[in-house]
């Protein structure tokens, strides 16, 4: 799976990019037909502390899955996104098994 990370309006450190890639490549153990993941790391201009947003578009055959989460840090948001995607991929795999 190819992971494309985009960080509009700021430069991300290599540690953050490696963390994102590591978390998202783990999703392949739940669903092996993932083509690529487009990741957008954004800092929102608000007065709230939870101003780090992570959007992930997961491209899989037949459909795409989009998840967006906000947190105090990018790492927290990526964790939340990975958990949400894991749940959705498990559901999709169970539906496919039901049709077989």
Q: What is the CATH number of domain 2-99?
A: 3.30.160.100
Per residue in 5-20, pLDDT (tens digit) is 999 888 889 999 999 9
Per residue in 51-93, pLDDT (tens digit) is 999 999 999 988 899 999 999 999 999 999 999 999 999 998 8
pTM above 0.85?
Answer: yes
Residue 28 has which token pair? Answer: 């392949």
The full set of domain ranges for the chain reads 2-99
In the β-sheet with 2-6, what is the strand arrangement from edge to edge? 2-6, 36-43, 52-60, 63-71
Per residue in 13-51, pLDDT (tens digit) is 999 999 999 999 999 998 888 999 999 999 988 888 889
């Amino acid at each position: 799976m190819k992971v494309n990370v985009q960080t509009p309006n700021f430069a991300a450190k290599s540690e953050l990019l490696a963390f994102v890639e590591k978390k998202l490549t783990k999703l392949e153990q739940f669903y092996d037909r993932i083509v690529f993941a487009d990741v957008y790391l954004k800092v929102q201009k608000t007065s709230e502390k939870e101003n780090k947003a992570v959007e992930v578009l997961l491209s899989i055959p037949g459909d795409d899955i989009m998840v967006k989460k906000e947190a105090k840090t990018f790492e927290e948001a990526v964790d939340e996104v990975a958990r949400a995607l894991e749940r959705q991929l498990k559901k999709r795999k169970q539906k496919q098994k039901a049709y077989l």
